[in-house]
Amino acid sequence: MLSLPVELRILIYALYLSELQHVPGNQQPKNTHFRLLHVCRQISYEAGQLANFRSYVSLIHEDQIAAFNANISTEAASRILHADVANDSRLVHASGHSVPASELYLVLSKLVSLRRLRVFEHNRTRPMKDFILGARFTVEFEKAMFPSGRAPQLDSYELYLSPLKSSARIFQVVSCNSVQRLRLSGDCGLPQGTKLPRLTNLAINGVTGHYLEQHMEEYFAQCQLKEFQYTQGAKPGAYFELRDRHLNSLVFGSASGLHKLVLLGCSRLSSLTLTSCLRHLDQLRYLALSFVSVHELDSDFVSAFPSSLIVLKFSISNAWYTNPLLQEEHKLCDSVEDLIIKRRPPLKFVFVNFRDEVTAMSGRGKRWTRIAEERKFALQLGAWEEDEIF
Calpha distance 379→370 (Å, rounded): 10
Q: What is the largest CA-CA distance in the chain?
A: 77
pLDDT at res. 296: 62
Residue 321 pLDDT class (50, 70, 90 cuts): low
* DSSP string for residues in 351-384: EEE--HHHHHGGGHHHHHHHHHHHHT-EEEES--
Give the β-pairing of 286-293 and 260-266: parallel
Q: Are 346 and 377 in contact (CB under 8 A)?
A: yes
Residue 319 pLDDT class (50, 70, 90 cuts): low
Q: Residues 21, 25, 31, 36: is their CA dihedral positive or negative?
A: negative
Q: Residues 139, 145, 151, 157: is their CA dihedral positive or negative?
A: negative
| pLDDT tens digits, 1-38 | 889 999 999 999 999 999 989 887 778 999 999 998 99
| pLDDT tens digits, 255-292 | 789 999 999 988 888 888 889 999 999 999 999 999 88
Calpha distance 181→360 (Å, rounded): 41
Q: Residue 326's Cα: distance from chain center in Å?
A: 33
Short-list 172, 240, 170, 248, CA closest to 205: 240
Give kind and range of the element (H or E) at residue 229.
strand 227-231
Q: CB within 8 A of 75, min separation 6: which ones? A: none
With 70 as the cut, is the pLDDT of residue 239 above it? yes
Choice among 49-58, 125-134, 220-229 with the minimum mean pLDDT: 125-134
Calpha distance 241→269 (Å, rounded): 9
What is the average per-residue pLDDT within 107-136?
Answer: 86
Residue 94 pLDDT class (50, 70, 90 cuts): confident
Short-list 253, 258, 249, CA closest to 284: 258
Q: Is 364 exposed, middle or buried (0-12, 13-18, 19+ CB in 10 A)?
A: buried
Residue 237 pLDDT class (50, 70, 90 cuts): low
Residue 388 pLDDT class (50, 70, 90 cuts): confident
What is the average per-residue pLDDT within 292-299?
Answer: 64
- H-type alpha helices, 95-210: 104-110
Residue 295 pLDDT class (50, 70, 90 cuts): low
Q: What percentage of the chain has pLDDT greater than the value 90?
A: 58
Most confidently modeled of 86-95, 175-184, 216-225? 175-184
What is the average per-residue pLDDT within 312-323?
Answer: 73
Residue 326 pLDDT class (50, 70, 90 cuts): confident
Calpha distance 355→364 (Å, rounded): 12
Global pTM value: 0.91
With 90 as the cut, is the pLDDT of residue 145 above it? yes
Residue 390 pLDDT class (50, 70, 90 cuts): low
Most confidently modeled of 156-170, 192-206, 284-298? 192-206
Q: Are 74 and 37 in contact (CB under 8 A)?
A: no
Give kind and range of the element (H or E) at residue 102.
none
With 90 as the cut, is the pLDDT of residue 240 above it? no
Amino acid at 364: R
> If DSSP codes are grouped into helix, strand and coil, which group holds residue 180?
coil
Short-list 257, 259, 312, 316, CA closest to 288: 312
pLDDT at res. 328: 75
| Averaged pLDDT of the chain | 88
Residue 316 pLDDT class (50, 70, 90 cuts): confident
What is the average per-residue pLDDT within 294-310?
Answer: 79
